[in-house]
Amino acid sequence: MEIRISPSVLAADLSNLRGELEKVKNADLLHMDVMDGNYVPNITFGMPVITAAKRCSDVPLDIHLMMNGAEHFLAEFASVEPEFITVHYEAVTHLQSTLRKIRDLGIKAGVSLNPHTPLNGLKYILDDLDLIMLMTVNPGFGGQKFIPAMLEKVRDCSELIGDRPIELQVDGGIGVDNLADLIKAGANNFVAGSSIFGAEDPTAYIEQMRAIARQG
């Protein structure tokens, strides 16, 4: 599966969104973290910032919904035509039908799992998934440290996916120092906030990530 880099806009200077997105034009996706202050202990942004990002950049959007009741807002998020809408395994009661609704809206469907959430249930809904996101920190905040035990989970998940066309995304504490290990474990899609936007030159940092990926 092709390696893809998804800078998390949460780590950008939102007072200069256009300028910040200009620096990550070479990314594959733009990761948008929606937090509701209920499912996670933090509030970020919703449609106004997402539509602003859409106006400033041609990079496809990758919307990560850390919220309860995500199933009631799917049409709204789909209206910006993101590549992915990802909901949380722990926050959606009827997960399979929610994933189906996302696909019915013409958007690729993703599910995100918190570090402690087992992979078991995914086995039965693999046909409904375009992306599995493994949280490699606890959701809620950017800039946290990668949880090393997640490497094993990435390996297990990669085995579960097998040769199905499902992207394996990791989110939280990702950067050039753990990228090679995660690629070896089977991840192909990398969300990175503070490492990319905190770099002196975010464009060059993304290229550095790509170079590491090419080395395999």
What residues act catalytically?
33, 171
The yes or no reply on residue 64 touching Zn ion (CB under 5 A) is yes
Binder among 143, 152, 184, 211 for ligand DX5 (CB under 6 A):
143
Residues 9 and 31: their CA atoms lie apart, in Å, by 6
Residue 209 backbone dihedrals phi, psi, to 5 degrees: -60, -45
Nearer to ligand DX5 (CB atom), residue 9 or residue 95 = 9
Q: Kindly list the distances between the CA atom of residue 83 and the CA atoms of 45, 114, 124, 152, in Å, as whole numbers in the listed order.
A: 19, 22, 23, 27
Binder among 82, 142, 186, 202 for ligand DX5 (CB under 6 A):
142
Q: Please check whether residue 11 is in contact with residue 174, taking contact to mean a CB–CB distance below 8 angstroms.
A: no
The yes or no reply on residue 33 touching Zn ion (CB under 5 A) is yes
Q: Please check whether residue 33 is in contact with residue 44, taking contact to mean a CB–CB distance below 8 angstroms.
A: yes
User: Least CB distance from residue 33 to Zn ion, whole Å?
Assistant: 4
Helix (H) / strand (E) containing 89:
none
Binder among 5, 20, 28, 31 for ligand DX5 (CB under 6 A):
31
The yes or no reply on residue 64 touching ligand DX5 (CB under 6 A) is yes
The site that binds ligand DX5 (CB under 6 A) totals a number of residues, namely 22
Q: Kindly list the distances between the CA atom of residue 59 and the CA atoms of 25, 115, 153, 181, 195, in Å, as whole numbers in the listed order.
A: 7, 28, 29, 26, 19
The yes or no reply on residue 88 touching Zn ion (CB under 5 A) is no
Residues that bind ligand DX5 (CB under 6 A): 8, 10-11, 31, 33, 64, 137, 139-144, 171-174, 191-195
